[in-house]
Structure 1
């Protein structure tokens, strides 16, 4: 075995035993505020009754998906059918009188041609026919109105969506304008009630983090409402692929409410001895271990970093890996 030259041996001893270093500099971090958001539909539209009566049929229940114009319930009022029967009887009587009046008018025309009756008498017969025809037309219009009211007993969905609430049951007495069902439509979004002290730090278009079963999911702050109620600012968040099965479900949300500067070191640069955390820095070409106080783990640029609260300063060269 050939001996190692002294000069080469001294060079190996003097060379640093690390290959990767990092010069510390402050990193801008986003401050997050954890609150709860609520899954909601964009629109909440009631399907209202247009006539009063009794709920004869109820076609939907909570959780059903409906299309615009789909029947929700049928309301009946027996008085309307009685009115139809009365108007039909009146029309029968008027038609009989009209038939008689037209026959009298035809005989009167023949008598007028022979000079038996006067023109005034013939005009009276014509007037009687015109009056009966007008009464029949008015009665038929009244019948159309009642028939239209019966048709309006069908309560239709004002828009497509999911049935959120059905406050009535079959056989219930209902008044005009009363809601038969509440429909949530227009898609779903996240609605927040934000403490007013954070209102100045938020802007439409900000990225919001939602904590789900599959980890963090990002959303966009779509709208900030100008009215603050009870110290809370209302805001809407658009989230792609938001679960719409349960409306009103509360979900943890993180809001960006500010920024701060922090010193970050990679997780690989931290070691522990005797319950203390150490980070190795390069000091005049030599490794030097510093005791540090670490903060929380932070995901930065897709990697795990540790925030250094004390023990290091900007400009320190941190050893992140050995040869």
Structure 2
């Protein structure tokens, strides 16, 4: 190839670049404020963890739930039986029969005494004694019935009731177990689910309630956003505990971990539209407009990608300077 041909090709390329620079849009880049992110892991947790407890002791005769089941408040999830309660009721019933017979006898004695008292054959003091005997037996009957009602109520309390609507997280017992009053039969997660974070305490002063949090889904690496709704004042293992609400959070597994980016500050960066960056042979290039209407490609090193004002942008670490006119397609 002759020198004149090379010269003509270079001239044509220069004219083409100049025409492209003249017709394309340009963006003057200046440092912008972008958030500084800290990557941590968050765990899915239930907002409220409520134990369903046995109200009486005895044998767990039936258990109708297992881990992962959905329950509603008031559902019977297990039944506890105590044979001693049935024996106590039988004893009270026999005691009542004896007391009722005693009452019948005392009432007969009272009726006979009243007749004798009217005839003057029985003193008023003796008559009062007969009345007192009737009152004592009557009160004993009432006391026995009340005690039997308490035992019957305990029998009804053998049903273990779900205290809230939600998902069953743990079931630490099995049917046939002997359990004590107040022992946990199942643990229920209610009130929805959220992400709980543990952020190093050196970033505590930079956390803000209401801040937007970025969450990466472990299944497809796609990102979604959440909101920092609560910061706990007590540190745990030199970390700040925070809760994040996420719309549509998948709760297939409690304690499942998600990668979360938390804003911990701000910094200045040079950002260009993603469309302004081209990649060839593993290198990134950005075209800038020169003052004489020409353009030139510059090799750049890119950094993090951010969305600013709804537009996908990429940070340029080296290769550009503030004030450069970047050509955008």
When the two structures are superposed, what TM-score results if normalisation uses the length of structure 1? 0.89
Residues 277-288 of structure 1: pairs in structure 2 closer than 5 A: 277-285=284-292, 286-288=294-296
Tell me what 2:314 maps to. 306
Contact 2:17 2:295 (C-alpha < 8 Å) held by counterparts? no
CA pair 111-177 structure 1, distance change in 2 beyond 3 A: same
Higher strand share: 1
> Comparing 272-281 with 62-71, which one deviates more in the overlay?
272-281
Gaps of 5+ in 2: 1-14
Alignment partner of 2:270: what SS? Answer: strand
Residues in 1 aligned to 2:91 and 2:276: alpha-carbon distance in whole angstroms = 94
Residues 8-23 of structure 1: pairs in structure 2 closer than 5 A: 16-17=18-19, 18=21, 19=23, 20-23=25-28
Tell me what 1:205 maps to. 210
CA pair 294-188 structure 1, distance change in 2 beyond 3 A: closer
Contact 2:278 2:284 (C-alpha < 8 Å) held by counterparts? yes
Per-residue deviation at 1:75? 1.1
Gaps of 5+ in 1: 1-12
RMSD: 2.1
Residues in 2 aligned to 1:311 and 1:124: alpha-carbon distance in whole angstroms = 114
Residues in 2 aligned to 1:173 and 1:280: alpha-carbon distance in whole angstroms = 78
CA pair 164-234 structure 1, distance change in 2 beyond 3 A: same
Could you list the structure 1 runs, at least 4 aligned residues long, displaced by more than 6 angstroms after superposition. none
Per-residue deviation at 1:266? 2.8
Contact 2:273 2:314 (C-alpha < 8 Å) held by counterparts? yes
Residues in 2 aligned to 1:273 and 1:169: alpha-carbon distance in whole angstroms = 64
Q: Give yes or no for the alignment of 1:230 onto 2:245.
A: no
CA pair 174-274 structure 1, distance change in 2 beyond 3 A: closer
Per-residue deviation at 1:224? 0.3
Per-residue deviation at 1:21? 1.2
Residues in 1 aligned to 2:39 and 2:154: alpha-carbon distance in whole angstroms = 53
Tell me the matched-pair count: 309
Residues in 1 aligned to 2:225 and 2:99: alpha-carbon distance in whole angstroms = 73
Residues in 2 aligned to 1:297 and 1:110: alpha-carbon distance in whole angstroms = 108
Residues in 2 aligned to 1:192 and 1:277: alpha-carbon distance in whole angstroms = 36
Q: Give yes or no for the alignment of 1:320 onto 2:328.
A: yes
Tell me what 1:266 maps to. 273
When the two structures are superposed, what TM-score results if normalisation uses the length of structure 2? 0.87
